[in-house]
């Protein structure tokens, strides 16, 4: 194997590695944004629902309970 061949191979491997890191970072970034948006939506839903249901609830401690988004 000639010198230039191994240099090409090394460069290709490095490029592949850098691309992979970039892609993973991008996905993490996207996931973080998605999670933040989902959390904000959940909070908004809870607040909206809370206003509607405040008169139905006997105890105020229910408003602090985590919400089950299935229902």
Give the pLDDT confidence score for residue 16 in this predicted structure: 95
CA atoms within 13 A on the CB side of 3: 0
For the chain, domain boundaries? 3-56
9: its two tokens: 């191979």
Mean pLDDT for 60-65 is 56
Q: What is the pTM assigned to this prediction?
A: 0.39
Query: 12-37 pLDDT, tens per residue?
Result: 999 999 999 999 999 999 999 999 99
């Amino acid at each position: 194997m000639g010198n230039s061949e191994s240099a090409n191979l090394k460069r290709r491997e490095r490029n592949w590695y850098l691309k992979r890191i970039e892609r993973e970072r991008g996905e993490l970034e996207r996931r973080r944004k998605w999670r933040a948006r989902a959390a904000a939506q959940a909070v908004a839903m809870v607040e909206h629902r809370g206003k509607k249901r405040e008169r139905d609830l006997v105890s105020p401690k229910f408003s602090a309970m985590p919400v089950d988004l299935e229902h």
